[in-house]
Structures are given as C-alpha cells and as structure tokens.
A and B are shown apart, each in its own frame.
Chain A
Amino acid sequence: MKYILPCCLFVLGILNLKAQSLEGTNGLFKIPSAYVAPDGNSYLGASFYPKGKYELYNNGDRFTGMPTFITLSLYDRIEFMFRYTHQLGQEVNPQTQYFPDRMFTLRYNALKEGRNNPAITIGLHDVSEALGGTTATPWFLATYLVASKTLKTKTLSIAPTVGYAYDLIEANRNQVFNGLFAGVELTYSQLPYITLVGEYDSESFNIALKTTVLGHLHFAVGLLDMRALSGFFTYRFNLSNR
C-alpha cells in the first residue's frame, strides 16, 4: 500500500511543469503566461479549436482549427514557436484558395519571477511580416505584455496571470488577445499533477483542466466561452545537458 501513492505520482508526473497553451506558447488554456521554460526545453504539440473559434481567410466559422506547433526555449528567457495550422475539412485547391496558416511567435521574458515581483514577458504573436516574411499572412498578429506570479500555501498553488494586448503592429484581423486578458491556475498540493484553469481571453471566459503524465506529456481539456469543447496535448523534451 505504501508504494501505491509514489507509483501513482511517478506515472502521473510528480512535477506539474508549466505547460503550453492552445496557441502553442507557454500559457494557461488559451491566454499566454509570462513564464518561459528553462533553456533547451522543447515542446511538440497539437491543439483543437472548435468551429467558430478559429477563422482564416474569411472562411467564417465552418471549419475547426488544428494548430500543430514546435516551441523551443532559449537562454531561459526566449521562447520561439513555429505553428502550422489546418482548418479541418477545408480543401487545398485553386478554387478554395485556401492554404494552411504558418506563423512564428517570439516571446521575451524581460523580468524573472522573484519573491516579491511577478515574471513579465513581452510577446510578439505571428510576427512574420513585421520581421520580413514576404508572403506572410499575419491573421493572428498580436503584441502584448503579460505578468504572472505563483503564490503558494501549504495546500494550494495559485498562479494569477494578467496581460494586455495592443496594436503595436497593424493586424489583418485581431482574433487573439485584443485588450485585457487575465486568468488563474489552481493546483492542490495533494494532486500536483492536475491544474484547474479559469481565464478571460479578452473576448470570452474559458475554463480548463490540465494534467501532466510522466513529466513529459501534457494534456488539457476545456470549454472556450464556457461552452465550446477544446483541448491540446504537448510532448516536452530537453535538448540541453541541464
């Protein structure tokens, strides 16, 4: 009996490491957090947006979206993400003039979290055109500042996040993080591998449940706008010796 709990903790992942979000960057459920993983941490993942929650090329809300992404943390400060997103069911041909979206995101953690201060990160979401991509399609362009702080009691870990997205670069259409966004992650110390998320993504309220398995696999399932089922999974691996 005394081995059951340690074994369960091992299988489920003792450390509930900070995980990615629907968007592919480190975050809560949809909104980004200010945390950046340690140098060399990489994430391969995919997420699912239900109809009406992912729009590309003015295709309306007829298609679901499936972003697939690879994210890499560098120098304990920088997060780089490349994302390739399909609209499921939409055909690639000359008639539809549809092609899956590609985008880069760069985030810089300007201030590390301290005992009395939050982590602060600057995010440049889908910034390809601004950086010189000639056929870029910045449909999800957003620039934002975000702050996160983890507060711990004996029984609970509370990690609030608050951010503001603004039009530093003009976007084709703002679909993510337009204005104030905020959220909180709650983790009960007896169940460290499960995190409850509540957030406001600047348009709607979302809730989600996140879990980590074997320290490398992260899963999340939640409701966007409190009604549309969504989720993601990521696989984490570390390229550095540390």
Chain B
Amino acid sequence: MRNLFIYLLAGLASFTARAQGTQFIQSLSDQGFENVASVSRGKNLFITYENNLYRFEAKGLANILMQLSEIDLSGYELIHFLLRSKDIPMAVGSVSVEDLRAFNSGLMDRYALAAKMQFSIQVDKIEAYFKEAERLNSSFYKIDIPVGVRLDYLLGDFNDGLQTRTYVNSRVLSTFGQGAEFEFDFLNIVQNDIPGRAISSPVTMKVTQSARFGQNTFLSASLGYLPQGKFGILARFRNYLAEERFYLELIYGINRTGYLDENWIVQNNRNSDAVYQAIFNYRWNKYDTDLKLTYGTFFLNDLGYKFEIQRQFNEVYFSLFYSRTDLKSAGSFNSEEDALIGFSLTVPFGQSKFFKPGRIRARTEDQFYLLYRYSGFSYSGIDINYGNDIFSDIREFYPEVLRKGLMKHLKP
C-alpha cells in the first residue's frame, strides 16, 4: 500500500512536470520564438525553436535556459535544444536538469554551466523526432523590415581627403517555406560627396532557396537581382567536416551586369559572366578564428586568390586579408596582377532584442560593416556579396560560439 502511494506520487510529479513542459513551449511561442515544438522520449525533453527575437543566437538560448531553470522538470534528466534558422535545423545543445537546478540555486556559475553543456551541428537524429510534432508560431509569411546604415568612403583624393557617402538602407525579408526567402533591399542616399553615379534605388530583389542535407551539407541558390548590380543566379554548396572545424565551399553563378535606376528600369545590361569560387576554411575554435583561402573569380570576374584571417568575438568580427588577382583576366582592364591588403570590422548595430515577430515588423539591421582596402583605387579582389541566405549568420550556430555566447549572456 505504501509503495503504491509512492508510485502514485511519482507519477503525479512526472505528469505535473510534463504539463509544465507543455506550458513552457506555449510561453516561448507567446514571447515571439517561432517554429516551436517539443517532444518527450523517456527522460529526455526535446525542444526546437527559431529565434528571430534576439539579434544574437546565444542570447536567445541564454534567455530560454534561464526561464527553464525556474520550472519544475522533475520528470526529465536531459533537455535538448534544436536551433533553427529559416526553419532549417542548424545546431543542437543539451543540458542536464541537475545542472540547470544547480545554476538556478547559485551552486553553479554561468561559465561552468556553459562549459558542461554539449553542442553539435549534427542535427539529423534529433530533427527526426520532430517530424510529427505540432509547431507553434510559424515563421512563414511574415515580413521583416530591417533598417540600417551603410557607409562608402574614399581616401586619398587630393581635392578632398575624405569623401563619404552615407546610405540608410531598408530591406524587406520574408520566409515563405523551409529555407525559402524573399529579399528586397533599397538604398537611400542621405549624404554624398563622392563624385560619380549615385542614385537612391533598389539594389537587391531576389528569392533564395536554402536547404540542408545529411552529413552537414548545405546548399543555397539565389535568383533575381543580386547585390552588386548582378542579374542572374548564384548557388553555394558547403560541406562541414569535424563539426565546424573545416568546410569546403563551392560557388557558381551566371549573371549579367546592370542596375535598376530610380525608375526601376534595367540599365547597363551587359556581359554575361560565369562566377566561380572554391573556399577552404579552417576554424580555430579556441579563439573563434577562421582561416580562409578563396580561389576563383571575384566581383569584377578577376581571377585570383584571397587569404583571410577572421577573429570572432561573439558579435564582433575583425578580419585581415591579402588578395592577389589578375584584373586583366576580367577582360576590361589593362592592368596586370594586383595585390592588396586590408581589414574589415563588423560590429553589432541597433537593438539586441527586437519586437515580437508579427505580420509586419520593423527592426534595426543586425550589423554595421566597415571595410578598409589599403589601395582603394584598385578593383582587385573585391568579395562577392551573396545577400541574405542560410550562410549569413551560420557562425552564430557554431558550438563554441554558442558556448562562449552563453558565458556572456547567462545571468543567474
């Protein structure tokens, strides 16, 4: 009789904990997390979600962990998270209920909790659990309007030592299927003292389909008016090895050069070109550093290579590069090989937490980007701008970036 009473009590506690888990999923959805679902398997609770609420992925996860540490999870031993982007599964993280309790009671600090968590970009097994799960708060058919600032500048003109052009850009982003996205980007010039053609006009109007296949392989294909005045198609294929440590990327595109004028009429429509690149990247996790070697054609179809070392500090990226390309290979220039060095800096911009996603939402852009090329008059080795796709913020899902981000954003 006594044993039966104990079993009943344990069963009731487990039922209560599972009910709490269901309420928690609803709460995440109400807060604005999207594509939320949960599944139980024995003493494991699996939660999937997409964060379009916080600018930085680790901050979103930290927020969820802090909420989770405050509810009764007595029926579970392990909680697993499957993080999504454009509804594509990107990374998994696991934490034990015991560690969450210790964190909540102050027995474990944020560094220890983040260090004990398990992360991986291998998602296939856990994604399979959610095949039949009901999703709350779909991210599809919503419109995001990020507004930001961009800056062009020119140094070295003897008539005017520092010439600048400032844009306020407004983008329209909408996901309408798993990995399927529409992007529109309008640049509005608000200040300009750089000579030459410059008009406020659309600079991107494209649809992109991104997908993830087995063995950590990603593919994205964009079609339409691509950034940098290109009309055509651009495809990217990337395969990761040993988690995020290595990747090989192949890029191929066919496009024509031109632009939309202020009346949205295509101008300067010329030169059908094939664009191709091969990229090999090694990730030094201890210091969140990418060592990247690119070979292929660059913005002006100049053939050559570029070596880049990029250090990531959570949301800040600092990059040093050296490139050598043959501008003559592009066919329109007389110069021979041209080498240059430079650096770039990407810093977070605007809100760190956005408004709750709705049918239409205005928000600030995620980042501000500054590029310095030592020889600004050379067109050699300019990077291809791919626009928004699955790779745009993929580094936020890297296991070590999530871990270090949690160390910063978890609060007792």
A132–B324 contact, CB under 8 A? yes
A238 to B8 Cα, complex, angstroms: 55
Indicate if the CB atoms of B318 and A72 lie closer than 8 Å.
yes
CB atoms of B341 and A133 under 8 A apart: yes
Indicate if A97 sits at the interface (CB-CB under 8 A): yes
How many chain B residues sit at the interface, stated as a range, is: 20 to 34
B158 near A135: Cβ-Cβ < 8 Å: no
Q: Which of B159, B341, B375 contacts A104 (CB 8 A)?
A: B341
Does A136 sit at the interface, judged by CB under 8 A? yes
User: Are A99's CB and B161's CB within 8 A?
Assistant: yes
Check: A118 CB closer than 8 A to any chain B CB.
no
- Any chain B CB within 8 A of the CB of A239? yes
Chain A residues near B341: list those with CB within 8 A.
104, 128, 131-133
Chain B residues within an 8 Å CB radius of A94:
158-159
- Name the CB-closest residue of B to A131: B341
Of all chain B residues, the one with the shortest Cβ separation from A70 is B345
B322: shortest Cβ distance to chain A, in Å? 6
Residue of B nearest to A42 (CB): B318
Chain A, residues 178-197, CB within 8 Å of chain B (1/0): the string is 00000000000000000000
* A132 partner residues in chain B, CB cutoff 8 A: 322, 324, 339-341
Residues on B with C-beta less than 8 A from A135 are 156, 374-375, 377
Q: Is A82 an interface residue (CB 8 A)?
A: yes
B316 engages A241 (CB within 8 Å): no
Q: How far is the CB of B324 from chain A (nearest CB, A)?
A: 7
0/1 interface trace, chain A 77-103, chain B, CB 8 Å (1 if under) = 000101000000000111011111010
Residue of B311, B316, B322, B408 near A131 (CB, 8 A) is B322
* Complex partner residue of A133 from B314, B318, B340, B404, CB under 8 angstroms: B340
Contact A97 B324 (CB under 8 A): no
Interface centre among B338, B341, B343 (most CB of A within 10 A): B341
Known: A131-B322, A131-B341. A102 touches B374 (CB 8 A): yes
Q: Which of B314, B320, B322, B375 contacts A134 (CB 8 A)?
A: B375
Q: Is there a chain B Cβ closer than 8 Å to A40's Cβ?
A: yes
Q: Are A39 and B374 in contact (CB under 8 A)?
A: no
Quote the shortest CB–CB distance from B368 to chain A (angstroms): 15
Q: Does A240 contact B (CB under 8 A)?
A: yes
**Does A74 have its Cβ within 8 Å of any Cβ on chain B?**
yes
- Least CB distance, B310 to chain A, in whole angstroms: 11
Determine the residue in chain B with the shortest Cβ distance to A98.
B158
Q: Are A134 and B338 in contact (CB under 8 A)?
A: yes
Q: Does B369 contact A (CB under 8 A)?
A: no
Q: In the bound complex, do residue B374 and residue A133 qualify as a contact, i.e. CB atoms below 8 Å apart? A: yes
A80 to B311 Cα, complex, angstroms: 12
> How far is B345's CA from A72's CA once the two chains are assembled, in angstroms?
11
B window 359-412: CB within 8 A of A: 372, 374-375, 377-378, 404, 407-408
Is the C-beta of A75 less than 8 angstroms from some C-beta in chain B? yes
- A74-B287, A133-B340, A134-B378 are contacts. A102–B160 as well, Cβ < 8 Å? no
* A interface: dominant SS: loop
Assembly CA distance A199 to B158 (angstroms): 38
A202 to B158, CA, bound (A): 34
| In the complex with contacts A39-B287, A99-B156, A99-B161, A239-B313 CB distance below 8 A | yes
Is the Cβ of A82 less than 8 Å from the Cβ of B372? Answer: yes
CA A222 to CA B241, docked complex, whole Å: 55
CB atoms of A74 and B311 under 8 A apart: yes
- A92 neighbours in B (Cβ, 8 Å): 158-161
Is B198 located at the chain interface by the 8 A CB criterion? no
**How far is it, in angstroms, between the C-alpha of A135 and the C-alpha of B377 when the chains are bound?**
9
Beta-carbon nearest neighbor of A130 in chain B:
B341
Cα distance, A92 to B156, chains bound together (Å): 9
What distance in Å separates the Cβ of A88 from its nearest Cβ neighbour in chain B?
13
B108 beta carbon closer than 8 Å to chain A: no
Rounded to whole angstroms, the CA-CA distance of A239 and B408 in the bound complex is: 11
How many angstroms from the CA of A128 to the CA of B373 in the assembled complex? 11
Cα-based distance from A134 to B159 in the complex (angstroms): 21
A120 CA to B377 CA, complexed, in Å: 38
Interface string of B131-162 (1 = CB under 8 A from A): 00000000000000000000000011011110
A238 to B318, CA, bound (A): 13
Of chain A, the residue at the smallest CB distance from B339 is A132
Q: Chain A residue with minimal CB distance to B156?
A: A99
B161 x A128 contact (CB < 8 A): no
User: Are B155 and A102 interface neighbours, CB within 8 A?
Assistant: yes
CB of A128 within 8 A of CB of B374, answer yes
B161 neighbours in A (Cβ, 8 Å): 92, 99-100
A35-63 Cβ-contact flags toward B at 8 Å (1 or 0) = 00001100000000000000000000000
A95-144 with Cβ < 8 A to chain B: 96-100, 102, 104, 128, 131-136
Tell me the smallest distance from the CB of B319 to a CB of chain A, in Å: 11
B112 to chain A, nearest CB (A): 14
Q: Is the CB of A93 within 8 A of B159?
A: yes
Given the complex, which residues of A lie within 8 Å of B314, measured CB to CB? 239, 241
In the bound complex, how far is the Cα of B318 from the Cα of A80, in angstroms? 11
> Is the beta-carbon distance between A80 and B320 smaller than 8 angstroms?
yes
Could you tell me the distance in whole angstroms from the C-beta of A53 to the nearest C-beta in chain B? 22
21 A-B Cβ contacts within 8 A? Answer: A74-B311, A75-B287, A82-B372, A92-B159, A93-B158, A97-B158, A98-B158, A99-B158, A102-B374, A128-B374, A131-B322, A132-B324, A132-B340, A134-B338, A134-B340, A135-B374, A135-B375, A135-B377, A239-B316, A239-B318, A241-B407
Sorted nearest first, the 10 A-B pairs with minimum C-beta distance are: A132-B339, A239-B313, A92-B161, A133-B374, A134-B375, A94-B158, A131-B341, A135-B375, A241-B408, A241-B407
- Give residues in B with beta carbon < 8 Å to A: 155-156, 158-161, 287, 289, 311, 313-314, 316, 318, 320, 322, 324, 338-341, 343, 372, 374-375, 377-378, 404, 407-408
